[in-house]
Amino acid sequence: MEHPIFAEGLVRRFGDLVAVDGIDLCVEQGEIFGFLGPNGAGKSTTVRMLTTLLSLSEGTATVAGYDVEREAHMVRRVIGVALQEAAIDPIMTGRELLRLQSVLHGIRRKTAVARSEELLARVGLTAAADRRVATYSGGMKRRLDLALSLVHEPLVLFLDEPTTGLDPTSRQALWEEVRRLNREYGTTVLLTTQYLEEADQLANRIAI
């Protein structure tokens, strides 16, 4: 896999509004790539196109070697996504959500149980695993969302402003988890952020 993320002339329009205007991206295998810009710059729209959640108005893009439009189903199988606003069921517990996510990815029950416990420990949520997500703090929800995105051991991970609104301790914990994931598994990470410090701490290269 030469370029886990590759885009050329990426454009997205919403009526007369051009939200993304001709972006070219080339992310290398195993790097953490920082994608910076202020609010409204089009970072999240770009991520949604690359993760098959939005169609492209113009241009081409591949993720893990698969075309995001023609082979969208294959892209979804090999990526992990933690979006800016996590859609997590507040009624379920953290452990239940992780096991459900495993089932949706076709992971066998025994493996799913072990994987869920491993991820809960890695993101520091073992003690809160049986609490309903509605009782979680913002930082805990972000860490759970990261764990959910890692259930199937993705080749490419998209993190869309993962630490927005977090306190400094929660931000540091999430940074360390992203570093460890990249270091131990060689996962390619595209990180969108508006924080220069975050990019400086995590990214090998950046685009603005």
For the question of whether the overall pTM of this predicted structure is more than 0.85, the answer is yes
Q: Considering the chain, what is the average pLDDT of its residues?
A: 91
Q: CA-based angle 148:182:25, to the nearest 5?
A: 95
pLDDT of res. 83: 84
Per residue in 32-75, pLDDT (tens digit) is 999 998 888 999 999 999 999 999 999 999 999 999 999 999 99
What percent of the chain lies above the pLDDT cut of 70?
Answer: 99
* Residue 81 bridge partners (DSSP): 158
- Grade residue 10 by pLDDT with cuts at 50, 70 and 90: very high
CB 27 within 8 A of CB 7: no
- Own/partner pairs, 182-185, CB within 8 angstroms, 24+ separation: 182/30, 182/32, 185/153
**How confident is the model at residue 86, as a pLDDT?**
67
